[in-house]
């Protein structure tokens, strides 16, 4: 096994060491110095080949995404990322593959000042488990459970792009892709965790979650944790120009509601805080939009412009033209 | 997928919550309060079915071992375990399997006061990645890199048992097993991380590593990190009565040197500290034994009672009678 190749590859790509890493890759464990008084924020997520990414995905994208989905969880807490560990299972030693994977992971880590401090390389079906560790002041974390009836629901960025990107990936062998398709595929392969937006929402958002399973599912988790429900306006869903140009509106809306892998933030604020929240998130480098409100009745309902309950199209009903 | 079943199963088994867990399983990430001034000790290790454990291993043992191999890494640093996260890939939802796995993991966690604070459940080939987090005072960690020429090399417990247990597991279909075989199999399936011994060695051991890949390989890592070599006395290797009774001595010695999965500690102390080290480790509940010494010449050499270089038997050369 290429265990020591991977360690060397990661070490070589993580020279931007943090002062708080007292001992990094190479011993039985890493030694890290938490900032005084801060809470530690910890999460772990696995990506399995063929389940969480198409088997033909570029190794750079696999490495990037394995870290991105974890930084997205830290972002949803409003935490500042600090350190990460990578457990990698590989069917065979392949130095070029491992180096490309390390490139992708290290590129995103550098963007967020994250130090790779440890890991494990084993033989097995291709799988990556990253554990991300961040820090936040006690009491400042954004939880799923704080939404109040009357709060306004917002999301960052645009929704449904990754679901479109997945369909493009699955059809990639059928011919060339245009600029929109390439952009949508990028959204699937290189999600941008909304770390700065999460940090900006501390003290403002009453609840927050990242969108990994799709808006309906994840907003449903937030509502369940808060003991509330939500109403979403179908026409308010933020859809990218690329998605609008690529598929009929009904398909775009279905993906925005039910598609996964967008890694945007869905959050709630009191009505008086909508404008400050929009401004702060904008200043953090991403747009946000109001999509609905929190209500007392449990569950998530979607209404169209005429106020009718939304009847989702079947997934896959309409394909790319 | 049974994601929420797993979370429920783990939650139900981790009621021994720690005061420093501010938010456990159920949000985007866990919130943990490190003790003031302490360093964080972090490691992650994966177990893949058919690679790290026989496919027919009991789920309780799989859950136990996934945590044990990580606590063993913390033990090798002299750290006090605190928290763990579990990323589990499962081919299909199987509530009984998941509950048994959670039982095994939670039983070991309870023994060491470890709180399970988060995780991820995904579809995929059976695989577990645990991340263990512990704490230690700044400067107190046992590293691989501190061994000095003239230091004495010791190990805890007995060596080679797990390799024998693996052979037993692979031959299990061929008939019944005796008490020795059952004990050796337990050593493979339910390794006891030497956490108390690691804690007892703080301030005493100059270097320490846990034995996951076998004594020769792991002591080699320690020597390489320290820029030294080691000489090991073949006759000093600690062999269990069960192992001695089960295979010829040459096979037992070969497994003690080259077999993996023992999860004992190998550590170095200055000659004057041997007796205190033996006493402290004994008080921590496990025997330790002197097996050799640190020398200037790089590499690990094994000598027999006549002072001759040891020529290892080929792995598998002698089987169980």
CB contact under 8 A, A29 and B144: no
Residue at a domain's end among B109, B137, B165: B137
CA dist list (Å): B42 to A104, A118, A153: 23, 8, 36
Mean local confidence (pLDDT), B34-46: 96
Domain stop point among A83, A104, A137: A137
Q: What is the mean pLDDT of residues A67-87?
A: 97
Which residue's structure tokens are 């509106």? A249
**A87 plus A157 within the same structural domain:** no
Q: What is the CATH number of the domain that holds B46?
A: 3.30.1330.10
- Does residue A232 share a domain with residue A274? yes
- Pull the structure tokens for residue B68: 């044990």
User: Over chain A, what is the mean pLDDT?
Assistant: 92
What pairing do the DSSP bridges indicate for beta strands A265-269 and A152-156? antiparallel
Assigned domain for B142 exists: no
- What sign for the dihedral angle of Cα B12, B127, A83, A161? negative
**Cβ of B210 and A77 within 8 Å?**
no
Under an 8 A CB cutoff, do A144 and B225 touch? no
Judge contact between B320 and B171, C-beta under 8 A.
Answer: yes
Q: With a cut of 90, say whether residue B314 has pLDDT above it.
A: no
Same domain, yes or no: B67 and B187: no
pLDDT in tens, A96-139: 898 999 999 999 999 999 999 998 889 899 999 999 999 999 99
Selecting from A51, A79, A85 the residue whose C-beta is nearest the C-beta of B44 gives: A85
Q: Decide if A8 is inside a domain.
A: yes
Q: Are residues B8 and B104 in the same domain?
A: yes
On whether residue B318 sits in a domain, the answer given is no
Query: Tens digit of pLDDT for each residue in A28-57?
Result: 999 999 999 899 999 999 999 999 999 889
State the average pLDDT over residues B216-245.
97
Partner-chain contact B39 A32, CB within 8 Å: yes
- In this predicted structure, what is the pLDDT of residue B315? 45
Q: Is there a single domain that holds both residue B161 and residue B302? A: yes
**Residue B19 assigned as binding residue:** no
Q: Both A167 and A230 in a single domain? A: yes
One domain, residues A12 and A52:
yes
User: For residue A5, what pLDDT is reported?
Assistant: 61
| Mean pLDDT score, B66-90 | 97
Domain boundary among A137, A164, A191: A137
Supply the pLDDT for residue A202.
98
- % residues pLDDT > 90 (chain B): 80
Tell me: pLDDT of A194 over 70. Answer: yes
Q: What is the distance in angstroms between the Cα of A80 and the nearest Cα belonging to chain B? A: 12
- The confidence band for A320, taking pLDDT boundaries of 50, 70 and 90, is very low
Inside any domain, residue A320: no
Instruction: Note down the domain range covering A86.
Output: 3-137
Specify whether A121 is located in the same domain as A235. Answer: no
Q: How far is B61 from chain A (nearest CA, A)?
A: 19
Q: Which of A10, A11, A23, A27 to mutate to test the interface with B (most CBs of B within 10 A)?
A: A27
ipTM of the complex: 0.92
Does A310 score more than 70 pLDDT?
yes
Binding-site residues of A, please?
28, 44-45, 52, 73, 119-120, 144, 210, 212-213, 261, 317
Q: Binding site annotation covers B261?
A: yes
Q: Within 10 Å of residue B175's Cβ, how many Cβ atoms? A: 6
Q: Is the pLDDT of residue B180 over 60?
A: yes
Q: Are residues B164 and B133 in the same domain?
A: no
> CA–CA separation, A122 vs A141, rounded Å?
34
Contact A40 B52 (CB under 8 A): no
Q: Could you tell me which of A234, A235, A233, A211 has the C-alpha nearest to residue A221?
A: A211
Is pLDDT above 90 for B82? yes
The reply to whether residue A42 touches residue B51, judged by beta carbons under 8 angstroms, is no
Structural domain includes residue B207: yes
Which region among A170-174, B68-72, B93-97, B105-109 has the lowest average model confidence (pLDDT)? Answer: A170-174
B235, part of any domain: yes
Is the pLDDT assigned to residue B303 strictly greater than 90? yes
| Pairs of CB atoms within 8 A across A/B | 193
CATH number at residue A155: 3.90.650.10
Contact B149, B187 (CB under 8 A): no
Say how many domains are in chain B. Answer: 2
The answer to the question of residue B74 being in a domain is yes
Q: Per the domain annotation, does A246 fall within a domain? A: yes
- Write the pLDDT tens digit of every residue in B252-270: 999 999 999 999 999 999 9
Q: Please report the pLDDT score of residue B93 as a whole number.
A: 78
What is the pTM for the complete model shown?
0.94
Local confidence band at A2 (pLDDT 50, 70, 90 cut-offs)? very low
- Which of the listed ranges B95-99, B173-177, B203-207 does the model predict with the highest average pLDDT? B203-207
CA B30 – CA B45 distance, rounded (Å): 19
Shared-domain flag, residues B155 and B292:
yes
Same domain for B123 and B156: no
- Which two three-digit tokens encode residue A231? 């109403």
Give mean pLDDT, residues B194-217: 97
Closest alpha carbon within chain A to B4 = A221
Distance CA B107, CA B114 (A): 10
pLDDT (mean) for A215-229: 97
Instruction: Check whether residue A100 and residue A155 sit in a common domain.
Output: no
Residue B171: what pLDDT? 81
Assess whether pLDDT exceeds 90 at residue A302: yes
Cβ contacts of A118 on chain B, cutoff 8 Å: 42-44
Q: Is B280 annotated in some ligand binding site?
A: no
């Amino acid at each position: 096994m290429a265990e020591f190749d991977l360690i060397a590859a990661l070490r070589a790509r993580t020279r931007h060491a943090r002062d708080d890493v007292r001992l990094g890759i190479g011993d039985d464990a890493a030694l890290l110095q938490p900032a005084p008084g801060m809470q530690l924020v910890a999460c772990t997520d696995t990506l399995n080949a063929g389940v969480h990414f198409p088997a033909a995905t570029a190794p750079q994208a696999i490495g990037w995404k394995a870290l991105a989905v974890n930084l997205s969880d830290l972002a949803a807490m409003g935490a500042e990322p600090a350190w990460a560990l990578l457990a990698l299972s590989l069917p065979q030693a392949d130095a070029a593959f491992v180096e490309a994977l390390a490139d992708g992971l290290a590129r995103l880590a550098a963007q967020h000042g994250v130090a790779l401090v440890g890991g494990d390389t084993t033989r097995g079906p291709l799988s990556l488990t990253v554990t991300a560790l961040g820090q936040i002041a006690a009491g400042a974390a954004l939880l799923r459970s704080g939404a109040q009836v009357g709060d306004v629901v917002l999301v960052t960025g645009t929704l449904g792009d990754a679901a479109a990107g997945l369909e493009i990936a699955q059809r990639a062998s059928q011919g060339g892709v245009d600029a929109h398709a390439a952009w949508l595929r990028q959204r699937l392969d290189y999600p941008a965790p909304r770390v700065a937006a999460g940090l900006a929402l501390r003290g403002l958002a009453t609840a927050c979650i990242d969108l990994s399973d799709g808006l309906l599912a994840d907003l449903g988790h937030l509502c369940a944790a808060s003991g509330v429900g939500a109403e979403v306006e179908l026409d308010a869903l933020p859809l990218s120009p690329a998605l609008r140009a690529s598929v009929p509106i009904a398909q775009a809306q279905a993906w925005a509601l039910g598609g996964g892998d967008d890694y945007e933030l869905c959050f709630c604020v009191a009505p008086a805080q909508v404008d400050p929240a929009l401004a702060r998130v904008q200043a953090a480098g991403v747009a946000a939009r109001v999509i609905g409100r929190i209500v007392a009745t449990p569950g998530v309902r979607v209404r169209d412009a005429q106020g009718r309950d939304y009847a989702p199209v079947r997934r896959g009903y309409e394909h790319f033209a």
